[in-house]
Amino acid sequence: MNFGNMGNLNQMMKQAREMQAKLERSKEELTNTNFSATSGGGMVEITLNGDFKLMGVKINPAVVDSDDVETLEDLIVSAFTQATEKVEAARNEKLGQFGGMF
pLDDT (tens digit per residue) in 32-56: 999 999 999 999 999 999 999 999 9
pTM of the predicted protein model: 0.77
Whether residue 101 is predicted with pLDDT greater than 60 in this model: the reply is: no
* Residue 95, pLDDT score: 83
Confidence of residue 7 (pLDDT cuts 50, 70, 90): confident
Contact 22, 97 (CB under 8 A): no
d(CA 101, CA 66): 46
Query: What does residue 97 show for φ and ψ, rounded to 5 degrees?
Result: -65, -15
Are the CB atoms for 60 and 72 separated by under 8 Å?
A: no
Looking at the predicted structure, is the pLDDT value of residue 9 above 90?
no
Alpha carbons within 13 angstroms on the beta-carbon side of residue 67 total 0
